Structure 1
Amino acid sequence: MKAVLWDLDGTLVDSEPAHALAFDASLAELGLTVPPDFHDRLLGASEDRVHEALIAETSVSMDRAAWRSVKWRHYRKAADQIRRLSQADLLVPLASAGLGLAVVSNSTRAEVDHNLDLADLARLFPVTVSRDDVRHGKPDPEGYLLAARRLGVSPTDCVVVEDSPTGAGAGLSAGMTTIFCPQVPTLVPPAGALVAGPGDLSGLFERLGLLPAMPRGGMLRNDKNPPPAIK
């Protein structure tokens, strides 16, 4: 394997509270109501799918650009709700091991850049693909295939890490080894995906040969930093 391609929201940063607050505030501003499970049903969905579902549910007359403007304004106000997840701690060891890194997100370019900057992760990703960079969002594989091309690697040499069935489906359709790492444990993984809890990713990366084995004590084992001798 030569590269690890990451979803962003729910995988590297916990932005769902910010998205939920922005979504609810946008609905309140527009005087709209949706079923209680509307947001959960669209977990991992791109902006265009959310907009289409909103139109179908409420019959509101509002184009996608207008919806984006309202949601983005409220999302920026909720920025203090965004948190970096523990999985992000694996990025530096992966880069040090020579793996290419990319973000592939169903979020807009503005949201991707905003979240990476807030989490101080932008410097670690030479390639980022947002929904604005592709014709089709996840579950279409276009974003992951584009990231592989930009990194100069074959799809079969890529590992995808995703927290939603929608995103994991995109990784599998791209022909990539796909790890389903949900923050919501009740989500059903798509067939063919490897499954790992947030705390299990490092062990799975070791088994896939992406990281050196971890000795007791948690230090990465390598030639320059051998484990201390037992006295």
Structure 2
Amino acid sequence: MTSEDEQRNPGRYVLFDVDGTLVDAVDNQRRVWATWAGRHGLDAADVYRVALRTRPLETFAAVAPHLDRAECLAALHELEDEDVRTGAYAAFDGASQLLNALPPGAWALVTSNYEHRVRGRFARTGLPVPRVVVDAAAVEEGKPSPLPYLTAAERLGARPEDCLVVEDAPSGVEAGLRAGMTVWGVNSATAPAGVHRHFTSLREAAPEILTAAGVPAPGL
């Protein structure tokens, strides 16, 4: 990280990834994809590796080009919706305090999931939902394309250079960087390539995120 990177001020808008950043749903995602893969005789580990970096339709095209994508998506949606209703998962430590401290209109969610599912998980974990949610249905290209983050900035009325992206995954980090935004990595032992700052946990990052957004940290 260069001194120039350290001096960057991302401004008052914060764009959060969801799964792996705010909500701990890794086991749930792996379980859902393993069930889907098993139904089609595919290797669950191979499928999940692709699913981590692509949207579902792109995953189906890569791992099962012989299958009907619409039928695959419908089956996956059923599995994921059932997981929202019955699966066990939690918000990462500090997420609730952080999101509730940010001013309305100053933050957004940018996810490769779907908004109704995010809302279901947030309702179960007690997290607030912002006005702007950019989901898989909102854009033609998913991460690592910059389009999801650029769409969120546009909806917030923010310039890309005034946005701070908070991510856990390399594809999301790449998307934020390609969008011309400041990107901080969280919830990983090592820093994803390219991040301007890295924190091993969301709780560690929370006071710094609030400071960057111009908000006093509420004892996080």
Match of residue 114, structure 1, among 110, 117, 120: 120
User: Map of 1:77-92 to 2, 5 A cutoff?
Assistant: 77-79=82-84, 80-89=87-96, 90-92=98-100
Does the residue aligned with 1:86 lie in a helix, a strand or coil?
A: coil
Q: What residue is the counterpart of 2:34 in the other structure? A: 24
Residues 119 and 129 in structure 2, CA contact (< 8 A), matched pair in contact too? no
Aligned equivalent of 2:216: 212
SS in 1 for 2:15: strand
Asked if structure 2 preserves the Cα contact closer than 8 Å seen for 1:17 and 1:81, the reply is no
Equivalent-residue separation in structure 1 for 2:217 and 2:120 (angstroms): 34
- Structure 2 counterparts to residues 154-169 of structure 1, below 5 A: 154-169=159-174
Task: Tell me which of 123, 130, 138 is aligned to 2:143.
Answer: 138
1:149 lines up with 2:154 in the alignment:
yes
1:188-207 equivalent positions in 2, closer than 5 A: 189-198=192-201, 199-205=203-209
Match of 1:53, SS state, is helix
Residue 46 (1) aligns with residue 50 (2): no
Between the aligned partners of 1:43 and 1:102, the Cα distance in structure 2 is 21
**Which residue pairs with 1:226 in the alignment?**
none
> In 2, are the aligned partners of 1:141 and 1:170 still within 8 Å (CA)?
yes
CA distances 1:72-112 after superposition (whole Å, capped 9, x unpaired): 212233332232222422111122xx761100011134433
Structure 2 CA distance for aligned equivalents of residues 21 and 173 of structure 1:
31
Distance 2:105 2:214 in 1: 8
The number of residue pairs the alignment matches comes to 206
CA distance in 2, matches of 1:71, 1:38: 13
Deviations 1:199-224 (A, max 9, x none): 3212432563643267xxxx37xxxx
Shift of residue 161, structure 1, vs aligned partner = 0.5
Contact 2:12–2:213 under 8 Å retained in 1: no
Matched-pair contact (CA < 8 Å) for 1:102–1:147: yes
Matched, 1:6 2:5: no
Please tell me the residue identity of whatever aligns with 2:55. Answer: S
**Deviating 4+ runs (over 4 angstroms):** none
Identity among equivalent positions (%) equals 28
Q: Unaligned 5+ residue runs, structure 2?
A: 1-10
SS of 1:103's equivalent in the other structure is: strand
- Structure 1 residue runs without a partner (length 5+): 221-231
Instruction: Let me know the Cα RMSD of the aligned residues.
Output: 2.4
| CA displacement at 1:54 relative to structure 2 | 1.6
- Contact 1:160–1:178 under 8 Å retained in 2: yes
Question: 1:30-62: CA deviations, max 9, x gaps?
Answer: 3x122635424542432123222222xxx5x22
- Name 1:74's counterpart in structure 2: 79
Q: Give yes or no for contact 1:180–1:195 (8 Å, CA) kept in 2.
A: yes
Q: What SS does structure 2 have at the residue aligned with 1:200?
A: helix
Shift of 1:29: 2.4
